[in-house]
Amino acid sequence: MAEIQDKIREEAKKALESGEVGVVIGWGAGSVPFKTTPVFIDKPQDADKLVWNPACTNNLAVYLTRWARDGKVGIVAKPCDIRSIVTLIREKQVKRENVFIIGLGCGGVVDTGLMEAGDVRMREITSLQWDGDDLMVTTEAGAVKVPAAQALREQCKVCHDRSPAISDVSVGDAVAPSEDLKIEIPGLSEDRQKYWQEQFAKCIRCYACRQVCPACYCETCFCDRIEPKWTAKKATTDEAWMFHATRAMHLVGRCIGCGECERVCPVGIPAVELARELNAVAKERYDFEPGDPEAEKPLLGAYKENDVDPAHHSE
């Protein structure tokens, strides 16, 4: 892991020194050892601020629409982040020639919240490191091994693509998904309508899910519009329903399931659930996967004459 981190720094330094990119977006050390923060490196000597560890959760592709508009930027990206970049390129939000991708193989990132539920106390952590299928957690009291199943984020447990789909330089080996880790995400409760009412009732409309989402790239979000007023600003359940339902619809064929919206949600709404279900339908019915570099057109920007006809199966 330390070797990979050195290579990331080296590649970032090279790209900045040659003037190929104006800035490299990556992860830097957070204020505490179990967190990282996005950093924007614009001087070669600052490249040593870049880090790579199991706490590099942020999907940095969210910054590309703004940063890569007028010039070339470098980005350190996990396979899932790269799927987001693929989507942005396909939907013409970012030009391929404007991104320099430092692609990583990834065995998954950790959910520090899950670890806290176990024996590890987050405040005592001094470093995190993968050791085979276990997470080595070094604390002031000594090292503890946490099994991956307990430490990984939910979406990392079911991740199938652990090597970069596209990249300019590839750092580190692709990590094969471990079969044992493919745990099914718990199904939604039987009474869906009630389930979502309970979830959306919690929503405070902070829009953190939207802000952190690389697929939510609209300059003016429908919910910020005054005319037509699609949803009111008030945080009532029906307005939250309108917001989340529409957002799910907007994410079909775009959401790559990085789960950032769930991570940042202050009230714990499983926002990625709806998009995940719809994408499963898109895969089955239209053979479309959001992060697939082979797909030329967006899901809803294309059609086939023999597409499934909803007029018949609504009967």
Chain residues binding another protein by CB under 8 A are 188, 191-197, 200-201, 222, 230, 236-242, 245-246, 248-249, 252, 273-274, 277-278, 281-282, 285-286, 299-301, 303, 305, 307-311, 314
Going from the C-alpha of 99 to that of each of 75, 213, 297, 313, the distances in angstroms are: 7, 18, 20, 43
CB of 192 to another protein, least distance (A): 3
**What pairs with residue 24 in β-bridges?**
41, 74
Cβ nearer to another protein, comparing 62 with 299: 299
CB of 188 to another protein, least distance (A): 8
Going from the C-alpha of 308 to that of each of 137, 275, 279, the distances in angstroms are: 50, 20, 15
CB of 109 to another protein, least distance (A): 27
d(CA 245, CA 263) in angstroms, rounded, equals 19
d(CA 152, CA 171) in angstroms, rounded, equals 21
CB of 296 to another protein, least distance (A): 16
What does the chain come to in residues? 315
CB of 199 to another protein, least distance (A): 10
Cβ nearer to another protein, comparing 143 with 280: 280
CB of 309 to another protein, least distance (A): 7
Cβ nearer to another protein, comparing 138 with 197: 197
Cβ nearer to another protein, comparing 160 with 304: 304
Evaluate the omega torsion of the peptide bond into residue 38 and state whether it is cis, within 30 degrees of 0: no
Contacts of 270 (CB under 8 A, 6+ apart): 199, 262
d(CA 279, CA 16) in angstroms, rounded, equals 38
CB of 182 to another protein, least distance (A): 22
Report which of 100, 115, 122, 118 is spatially closest to residue 22, judged by C-alpha positions: 100
CB of 228 to another protein, least distance (A): 9
Cβ nearer to another protein, comparing 17 with 277: 277
d(CA 295, CA 289) in angstroms, rounded, equals 8
Cβ nearer to another protein, comparing 136 with 245: 245
d(CA 21, CA 71) in angstroms, rounded, equals 8
Cβ nearer to another protein, comparing 160 with 312: 312
Cβ nearer to another protein, comparing 217 with 288: 288
